[in-house]
Amino acid sequence: MKVLKGRLIDCTGAAPIEAGAVAIDKNKICYAGEAAGLPAEYSKAEVLEIRDGTILPGLIEGHVHMSWGGANSIHWIDYTPQLEMARALRDLQFLRSEGYTAVRDMGSGCVFLKECVREGLLDLPRLFAAGRILTQIGGHGDAYQKLTLEASEKVYGPAFIVTGVDEVRRAIRTNFRNGADFVKIMTTGGVFSQGDKACETCHFSREEIRAAVEEAENQGTYVSSHAQANKGIRTALENGVCCIEHGFYLDEYCIELMLKNDCYLVPTLSIMHTSKVFNESNPHVLPELKEKTLRSYEAHYRSLDLAHKAGVKIGMGCDFVNDPALGCTYDRANMEFERMEAAGFAPMEILQAATKTNAELLLMADRIGTLEAGKLADVILVQGNPLNDIRLMCDADNIKLVIQDGRIVKDITAQAD
Ligand SMILES: [Zn+2]
C-alpha cells in the first residue's frame, strides 16, 4: 500500500486540490481526494511526496508509430523485424520515462510486443495497437512509389496495400488475428508521401470504408482514419469512421458530422512542427514538399481551432516516427504539450486530452485516464504546477515518479527540488 501526497489534478474535470492524496492498494486506486480525508487505514502506508509536487493520471500517447523507422520510407529496405522491435522497445522506455503509462500505436509492427507483455517477457506501457494500416494503391502507405507495387508492399512494413472490399476485410481480419485492438485506414494522402496530394484527395471507396467499419464493429472496436484533405475526411465521417487523425482541412460540415456522430479528432502538431523547422533549415528538401508541409501546417492550426471552439472531443498525439534528422525522436514526445498550448488550449484541457480523452480512444475510460477510486493505479508525480506552466510537462526530468498498474516504474524523487 502506498500514498502519494501533493497537488491533485484528477483530470475528471474537477478543480485541483492543493493538499491532495492518492492511495494505492496493489494495482488499484482506493482513494483520491483531500489529504485530510484520507481514511485512517492508510496512516501506516508508505508516503511518496516531493516539494511542490503534482499528482496526475499516467499520461497516454494518442498517436505514435513505435517501430516505423523514420519519415523517409526507403529506410524500410534496410530494416529487419529484429531491429524494428529493438527500436520500439527503446522508444517505449523513453515514453514511460516521460510519464506515459499507455500508448496508442497508429500503425507499425509493434502489435507483436503485446504478446511479449502478456507472457511477462517485457515490462512496457499499456499498448493499444492498430497493427498494419490499410492504404490504397498509391496512397500514403504505398509510400515509395518508385519501387514496383510488389516491392513496395514487401519493404514498407507498416501498411497493407489493398483494393476492394474483400481485401479490406482480409487485411483487417489478419490484423485482429495478430492482436490488433482497432482499425486504422488512410482515406487521404499525406505530407511525407511524395506521390499523392495530401490536400485534395479521397482514398478508398465508400464501400471499402463501410466494410472496414463493419469489420471493426463486429470485433467491438472502431475505425480511425488518417485523414488530412477535406474530401477524405468527409467520406470517412459519412461512412462510419469515428476518429480523425490529423484533420488538416476540416470545415463546418465536417465539424457538424463529428459532433452529431460523437467523433474524435487527434491533432498531431509536433510532427508538423518538427517537419516545418527541418524544411526551413534544409536546402535539399524538394520545393513541392516544402510547400505541401507549410500549407498543411497552417491548415492544421486553423482546423484545430474550429474543432476546439465547436466542442469536438480532442485527443493528443505527437505522431513521431523516430527520425533523428527530423528531430521527431521519442525522447522529445512531450513537445505536444507546448504545441497544444500554442494552438490555444488551456493547461487543464491539454492535461485532460493526454489522459481522460486518450483513455476513451483506448476504449479504457472505465479503467485509466482519471484518478478515481476503483481505477487502475497509473499515476505520475510531477515537479511544479503544470496549470501555471504546461511546459513543465515537456521535460522528463520533471516527471519524478511513474506508477503503472500499482508498480513504481520510474522514481527520481530523490532528485526533486
Ligand atoms: Zn501517424
CATH code for the domain in which residue 326 is found? 3.20.20.140
Which phi and psi (to 5°) does residue 58 adopt?
-55, 140
pLDDT, tens digit (0-9, with 9 covering 90-100), for 238-280? 999 999 999 999 999 999 999 999 999 999 999 999 988 888 8
Q: pTM to 2 decimals?
A: 0.96
Q: How confident is the model at residue 70 (pLDDT cuts 50, 70, 90)?
A: low
Query: Average pLDDT of the chain?
Result: 92
Report the C-alpha dihedral over residues 56, 337, 306, 200, rounded to 10 degrees.
-130
Helix (H) or strand (E) holding 335: helix 335-342
- Do 206 and 168 touch, CB atoms closer than 8 A? no
Q: Where are the beta strands (DSSP E) in 280-374?
A: 313-314
Q: How confident is the model at residue 307 (pLDDT cuts 50, 70, 90)?
A: very high
Lowest average pLDDT, out of 71-75, 88-92, 117-121, 202-206, goes to 71-75
Helix (H) or strand (E) holding 96: helix 81-97
Residues 137 and 187 in one domain: yes
pLDDT beyond 60 at 74: no
- Domain boundary among the residues 307, 333, 359 is at 333
Total domain count, the chain: 2
**27 C-alpha to ligand 1 centroid (Å):** 31
Q: Is there a domain that residue 342 lies in?
A: no
Counting residues of the chain whose pLDDT is more than 90, the rounded percentage is 75
Residues 164 and 138 in one domain: yes
Q: What is the mean pLDDT of residues 281-302?
A: 88
**392 C-alpha to ligand 1 centroid (Å):** 25
**Could you tell me which residue, 62 or 326, shows the higher pLDDT?**
62
pLDDT at 285: 85
Residues 138 and 255 in one domain: yes
Q: How confident is the model at residue 190 (pLDDT cuts 50, 70, 90)?
A: confident
**400 C-alpha to ligand 1 centroid (Å):** 29
Q: Which three cell numbers stand for residue 129?
A: 495497437
**Could you tell me which residue, 112 or 382, shows the higher pLDDT?**
382
- Do 25 and 407 touch, CB atoms closer than 8 A? no
pLDDT at 197: 67
**106 C-alpha to ligand 1 centroid (Å):** 6
Q: Is there a domain that residue 7 lies in?
A: yes
**154 C-alpha to ligand 1 centroid (Å):** 20
pLDDT beyond 90 at 284: no
Q: Is there a domain that residue 172 lies in?
A: yes
Please name every residue paired with 28 in a beta bridge, in sequence order, or none if there are none. Answer: 25, 376
**399 C-alpha to ligand 1 centroid (Å):** 25
Q: How confident is the model at residue 142 (pLDDT cuts 50, 70, 90)?
A: confident
**109 C-alpha to ligand 1 centroid (Å):** 13
pLDDT at 207: 98
pLDDT at 324: 82
Q: Which three cell numbers stand for residue 216?
A: 471493426
pLDDT, tens digit (0-9, with 9 covering 90-100), for 192-230? 776 676 677 899 999 999 999 999 999 999 999 999 999
**318 C-alpha to ligand 1 centroid (Å):** 8
Closest CA to 334 of 105, 143, 97: 97
pLDDT at 281: 87
pLDDT at 340: 98
pLDDT at 69: 64
**245 C-alpha to ligand 1 centroid (Å):** 8
Residues 156 and 293 in one domain: yes
**Distance between CA atoms of residues 316 and 353, nearest Å:** 6
Residues 274 and 156 in one domain: yes
Residues 220 and 114 in one domain: yes
**319 C-alpha to ligand 1 centroid (Å):** 5
Residues 146 and 210 in one domain: yes
Residues 30 and 100 in one domain: no
pLDDT, tens digit (0-9, with 9 covering 90-100), for 387-403? 999 999 999 999 999 99
pLDDT at 290: 86
pLDDT at 312: 98
**19 C-alpha to ligand 1 centroid (Å):** 39
**Could you tell me which residue, 86 or 354, shows the higher pLDDT?**
354
Q: Is there a domain that residue 157 lies in?
A: yes
**70 C-alpha to ligand 1 centroid (Å):** 11
**227 C-alpha to ligand 1 centroid (Å):** 10
Q: Which three cell numbers stand for residue 88?
A: 520500439
**Distance between CA atoms of residues 356 and 364, nearest Å:** 9
Q: Is there a domain that residue 145 lies in?
A: yes
Q: What is the mean pLDDT of residues 342-365?
A: 98
Residues 13 and 146 in one domain: no
Residues 176 and 154 in one domain: yes
pLDDT beyond 60 at 301: yes
**234 C-alpha to ligand 1 centroid (Å):** 19
pLDDT beyond 60 at 72: no
Which phi and psi (to 5°) does residue 344 adopt?
100, 10
pLDDT at 4: 98
pLDDT at 287: 86
Please name every residue paired with 23 in a beta bridge, in sequence order, or none if there are none. Answer: 3, 31
**Distance between CA atoms of residues 48 and 329, nearest Å:** 31
Residues 80 and 172 in one domain: yes
**284 C-alpha to ligand 1 centroid (Å):** 24
Q: How confident is the model at residue 109 (pLDDT cuts 50, 70, 90)?
A: confident
**271 C-alpha to ligand 1 centroid (Å):** 9
3-state secondary structure of 356: helix
**23 C-alpha to ligand 1 centroid (Å):** 36
pLDDT beyond 90 at 151: no
**65 C-alpha to ligand 1 centroid (Å):** 6
pLDDT at 148: 85
CATH number at residue 24: 2.30.40.10
| Domain encompassing residue 171 | 59-333
Q: Is there a domain that residue 356 lies in?
A: no
Residues 46 and 101 in one domain: no
**293 C-alpha to ligand 1 centroid (Å):** 15
**Distance between CA atoms of residues 92 and 95, nearest Å:** 5
Q: Is there a domain that residue 362 lies in?
A: no
Q: Is there a domain that residue 14 lies in?
A: yes
**308 C-alpha to ligand 1 centroid (Å):** 21
